[in-house]
Amino acid sequence: MVRTTKPKNKQMKEITSKFEKVLQASTSYGKVNHEPDSSKEVQRNTPKKSMPFSDQIGNYQRNKGIPPKSFENSKVYIVGSGIGGMATAYYFIRDGHIPAANITFLEQLHIEGGSLDGAGNPTDGYIIRGGREMDMTYENLWDMFQDIPALEMPAPYSVLDEYRLINDNDSNYSKARLIHNRGEVKDFSTFGLSKKDQLAIIKLLLKKKEDLDDLTIEDYFSTSFLESNFWMFWRTMFAFENWHSLLELKLYMHRFLHAIDGLNDLSSLVFPKYNQYDTFVTPLRKFLQSKGVKIEFHTLLKDLDMHSNTEGKWVEGLIIERKGTAAKIPIGKEDYVIVTTGSMTEDTFYGDNKTAPIITLDNSTSGQSSGWKLWKNLAAKSPVFGKPEKFCSNIEKSSWESVTLTCKPSALVEKLKEYSVNDPYSGKTVTGGIISITDSNWLMSFTCNRQPHFPNQPDDVLVIWVYSLFMDKEGNYIKKTMPQCTGDEVLTELCYHMGIIDQLDNVLENTLVRTAFMPYITSMFMPRAKGDRPRVVPEGCKNLGLIGQFVETNNDVVFTMESSVRTARIAVYKLLNLNKQVPDINPLQYDIRHLLKAAKTLNDDKPFLGEGLLRKVLKGTYFEHILPGKEETEEEHESFLAEQVNKFKDWFKNIRS
Ligand SMILES: Cc1cc2nc3c(=O)[nH]c(=O)nc-3n(C[C@H](O)[C@H](O)[C@H](O)COP(=O)(O)OP(=O)(O)OC[C@H]3O[C@@H](n4cnc5c(N)ncnc54)[C@H](O)[C@@H]3O)c2cc1C
């Protein structure tokens, strides 16, 4: 018997046929705002409202958005196999119902994962260019990983299940967030912000985003702020420099407002079990390949053949180099192209124990590698593609170096134990995030995450990650800048700051060092203005989406895995015009409990302005618990009340002025 299958578009119609009357009268169907903006929305229920609020997260958003038509015959080319590219494939399959076999990755490298790396072995040394501090509110990332089969657990468990199994049973915190004076733990219990600096933070939160174009952090904040413990915690944790974008800092403050009380001891963080390649990239790649997605390695996209007509801008061809041979891939009107533009890890220069990275790049030659070149080629076609040169042209301001230590037992490991919350060999949290050396000229930090950090790591080996923020200063012990140093010299500088320089030979003998100088590692934090980054689907584009760290989202931050996944999801929903939204960032920034807690935390847990009054009003009510910390004594309250009312008035006057 010959089985006939119905054309897919007909099938689609049948799916919704029982709903025709509703759909024909609908003002939402086919017109969903895929990228709603919570910073512009007045959240009200009105007779015409049918969609959730812009940042409403949760199960109601787990609907399957019915595609407007079938994309069965569409081919999809995804350029770049980082987490952004891989997430794009996932959402094309899950929500667009595009057959996985129609999806092809074009990846210039020999390996997938992009910036999410993790390689090496105990003999040559392991290497991770970065570690991954993560947050429970990575809504898009967890949305995806709840469906990706776990690396080490059997079906039906997912990467999210595996992640939670680890983190639910092993909380993260630090007992030595700061050190100084050659190895001494420094008090890290307070932020040390003056009232003026606290007010400056509040004023920044109140500012409109559009008023912050091209401003830097040091343009706005005082020296006392830049010298505070708060800024030491913040800039070392998120890798901000004083010359970076004030707008991005503001977005970070909103995005991670709920985490502020865990800033000093890092108790707000969660971490993967292994390095990010093994934890995330491997299971995701296996999942995609099991569905039929193809990955073409050694394939570089050089340019897009684009044409405009009255309907919009169309990609009609991909100009590529496959294993060194030029070729062109034709793109039809039903096909889609998704491109990762820009890169934080391109042009990485590597070194080892005996060699410093040989850096053959300066501002006159920067921005020529594939991701940047491609973005520049696009930008030359239309202003809707942004201004890549704003991000890749100042490598003194966008670079830093990281170092991976592969350590056999030594004096370094013994010293590390003093800073660790658990035995480094126990499999549990070790340092609980970075330890920053406050009197290091390079502003060096180091961390030992849960071990083993690689599945094949021998029991007696630890992997430690080190990085510094200042690339132009000589070390305190080694009179060279960090990029001029061999791995052994960087290790020497670290031993000096850990107070174990007298045992240096023992440490050098037992430690393999691999260094990685990244010219663009904080390029996405460079000061920017509206229009410098393109939208995910740039104006007029019909079959092209841009993803990754250099595209505009409404309120999300950059330098996270989450934001790359968000851009991927937006690209898919917009291009396919799915009846489904990507909710804006988690709304905790508007939660009064977190706002009050932030006010108190910024004031080093002393009562914030107006707290006494609020406590009085809420005492004995259902809402009493929204106030953070303990209640003061009755006497303190009475005297405090009058003082607070006056302070509140002054504060209000100040804000208004
Ligand atoms: C040192 C470091 C520390 C970090 N710390 C954290 C952290 O603590 N928490 C957190 O959430 N995130 C962190 N991140 C950020 C996070 O890893 C990145 O945001 C994310 O991995 C970027 O993914 P992506 O897919 O957007 O881009 P990438 O990973 O850069 O991938 C881009 C891919 O595209 C390919 N490509 C580019 N151009 C072309 C072309 N023309 N043709 C073919 N292929 C091309 C590249 O080879 C690459 O594989 C860190 C990153 C680094 C490097």
Angle at alpha carbon of residue 268, lines to 266 and 270, rounded to 5°: 95
Catalytic residue among 163, 252, 274, 496: 252
| 493 sits in which H/E element | helix 487-498
Q: Is 344 in the pocket of ligand 1 (CB under 6 A)?
A: yes
* Per-residue pLDDT, 15: 84
Residue 645 above 70 pLDDT? Answer: no
- Separation of 532 CA from ligand 1 center, angstroms? 19
Mean pLDDT, rounded, for 402-412: 98
Q: Which atom of ligand 1 is nearest to the CA of 549?
A: 26
430 band by pLDDT with thresholds 50, 70 and 90 = very high
14 band by pLDDT with thresholds 50, 70 and 90 = confident
- Separation of 115 CA from ligand 1 center, angstroms? 3
Q: Which residues contact 217 (CB under 8 A, 6 or more apart)?
A: 226, 240, 241, 242, 243, 244, 245, 246, 249
| Atom 38 of ligand 1, nearest CA residue | 371
354 band by pLDDT with thresholds 50, 70 and 90 = very high
Reduced to 3 states (helix: H, G, I; strand: E, B; else coil), residue 62 is: helix
* Per-residue pLDDT, 201: 98
- Separation of 81 CA from ligand 1 center, angstroms? 9
DSSP 294-353: EEE-SEEEEEEEEEEETTEEEEEEEEEEETTEEEEEE--TT-EEEEE-S-SSTT-EEEES
**Single-letter code of the amino acid located at 446:** F
Q: Is 558 in the pocket of ligand 1 (CB under 6 A)?
A: no
CB 391 within 8 A of CB 524: yes
650 band by pLDDT with thresholds 50, 70 and 90 = confident
Mutate which of 127, 234, 559 for ligand 1? The one with the most ligand atoms within 8 Å of its CB, which is 559
- Separation of 239 CA from ligand 1 center, angstroms? 15
Residue 238 above 80 pLDDT? Answer: yes
Residue 635 above 70 pLDDT? Answer: no
- Measuring CA to CA, which residue among 300, 400, 302, 386 is closest to residue 344? 400
Whole-number percent of the chain with pLDDT over 90: 92
Mean pLDDT, rounded, for 622-629: 92
Q: Is 341 in the pocket of ligand 1 (CB under 6 A)?
A: no
Residue 24 above 70 pLDDT? Answer: yes
| Atom 36 of ligand 1, nearest CA residue | 80
pLDDT digits (tens, 9 = 90+) for 557-592: 999 999 999 999 999 999 999 999 999 999 999 999
* Per-residue pLDDT, 65: 87
The full set of domain ranges for the chain reads 607-656
Q: Is 494 in the pocket of ligand 1 (CB under 6 A)?
A: no
Residue 482 above 70 pLDDT? Answer: yes
- Separation of 504 CA from ligand 1 center, angstroms? 35
Residue 18 above 50 pLDDT? Answer: yes
Q: Which residue has better confidence, 629 or 642?
A: 629
pLDDT digits (tens, 9 = 90+) for 249-270: 999 999 999 999 999 999 999 9
Catalytic residue among 133, 401, 489, 562: 133
Residue 158 above 70 pLDDT? Answer: yes
Token digits of residue 100: 């996985």
Q: Is 445 in the pocket of ligand 1 (CB under 6 A)?
A: no
Rounded CA separation 430/448 (Å): 6
Q: Is 519 in the pocket of ligand 1 (CB under 6 A)?
A: no
DSSP 87-137: HHHHHHHHTT---GGGEEEE-SSSSSBTT---EEETTTEEE-S----B-TT
112 is catalytic: no
Residue 634 above 50 pLDDT? Answer: no
| Atom 49 of ligand 1, nearest CA residue | 114
Q: Is 561 in the pocket of ligand 1 (CB under 6 A)?
A: yes
* Per-residue pLDDT, 2: 46
Mean pLDDT of the chain: 95
12 band by pLDDT with thresholds 50, 70 and 90 = confident
pLDDT digits (tens, 9 = 90+) for 183-215: 999 999 999 999 999 999 999 999 999 999 999
What residues form DSSP beta bridges with 106?
79, 296
Rounded CA separation 432/612 (Å): 35
- Separation of 561 CA from ligand 1 center, angstroms? 8
* Per-residue pLDDT, 633: 52
CB 167 within 8 A of CB 271: yes
* Per-residue pLDDT, 629: 80
Q: Is 394 in the pocket of ligand 1 (CB under 6 A)?
A: no
Residue ranges of alpha helices (H) inside 180-320 are 195-206, 217-220, 223-226, 229-238, 246-255, 276, 282-291
Residues in the chain: 657
Token digits of residue 7: 């054309």
Stated pTM of the model: 0.95
Residue 647 above 90 pLDDT? Answer: no
Q: Is 106 in the pocket of ligand 1 (CB under 6 A)?
A: yes
Token digits of residue 584: 């804006």
When mean pLDDT is compared across 76-80, 370-374, 437-441, 642-646, the lowest value belongs to 642-646
252 is catalytic: yes
